[in-house]
Amino acid sequence: MKTIPLLLIILLSIEGPAQNITTDTSTTFFPNFKKGEKKTFKVVEESKIYNMGFVAKQSTSSYEMKMEVLDDSASFFIIQLDLKTVSSKSNKLEMNNLIAQIRNGLRLKYKIDKKGFLMDMVNFKEVHHHLSKAFDSLSVIEHYDSFNQAFVDQYKTLLNTASGILDTYLKPMTLYHTPYGAELVYKKPVYKASASLNAFNGKDIPNVVILELKELNSSKDFAQLRYDQITNKKLAALITSDKISEITKNITGEDLDKDELPDEVNLKDHNQFDMEISSGWITKARYKRIAKDGIAKMVNTMEITMQ
């Protein structure tokens, strides 16, 4: 069913999401980095599409991610992040391989405030140039059929906006910074109404974010945060269906029947973050997105582990 991989590309483009003050029952999730600090992480990303309960398509990519604190001022940090693609393999998910190759050798410099919120991509022009050049080079080498070429064209449109670049090509960085800014009490979940931007069409999809301090052990300098996101099923289907119809018509020249489009899309994110309280460094980040559309299911995971 052609709508399934189209649903994948659209759903993957939706946003995921100072010194720490800690008591026996609460903590903040703020960075407390020091200028000159360097950290190395292993990143593993996997995507699977299930149809009738069986894996129909899948891909796995692994990266080395290095972070260095270039500046530590009174109001912000400047971080340099380098990505190196270690391996990438795919079974019928060629676009994931494409992204893995495009990320290779990427260097990002960005500014965050003392609570860890992104303030600015310092070298945005260089990042855009790197991605565009890599994209064009690989597109010339690879030969895609009309269906996969439609994927390539859609991914290329994401280079036109900062949100498209951040949510698709810089996912390891955006995932790593997801928990920062949280201030939580042990085992007292916080529920927030929110919205996620779909980078492909610029539309917000309403959702509910659940934040919970799952573990807190000051003596071991350890805290663990749960960050879940549940999306409105019918609105997610409505917004993604518009894009599915547009892409399909560009490929085939024909409109999709309404019964070929999803009535509901069950989209849930589950994230978990381990933090070293004293430094504010996230030592492990786990991300899992599950999207269900009738008999089909997509599962996308990413795990970032400090080495």
CB atoms within 10 A of CB 143: 8
Contact call for residues 80 and 67 (beta carbons, < 8 A): yes
The H or E element spanning position 248 is helix 233-252
More confident residue, 279 or 205: 279
> CB-based contacts of 133: which residues, under 8 Å, 6+ apart?
none
pLDDT of 21 over the 60 cut: no
pLDDT in tens, 247-287: 555 555 666 566 655 566 677 899 999 999 999 999 999 99
More confident residue, 295 or 249: 295
Q: Which two tokens stand for residue 294?
A: 């009738």
In whole angstroms, what separates CA 294 from the centre of its chain? 24
To 10 degrees, what angle do helices 146-157 and 3-11 make?
20
The H or E element spanning position 129 is helix 124-141
pLDDT of 113 over the 60 cut: yes
CB atoms within 10 A of CB 253: 7
Q: Which two tokens stand for residue 10?
A: 């659209």
pLDDT in tens, 160-191: 877 788 888 899 999 999 999 999 999 889 98
CB atoms within 10 A of CB 49: 23
pLDDT of 147 over the 50 cut: yes
pLDDT of 1 over the 50 cut: no
Report angle CA 291, 295, 296 to the nearest 5 degrees.
40
Domains contained in the chain, number? 1
What is the average per-residue pLDDT within 181-210?
78
- Distance between CA atoms of 27 and 185, rounded to whole angstroms? 7
The pLDDT score that the predictor gives to residue 198 is 63
Residue range of the domain that includes 234: 3-306
Q: What residues pair up with 50 in beta bridges, in sequence order?
A: 55, 297
More confident residue, 135 or 227: 227
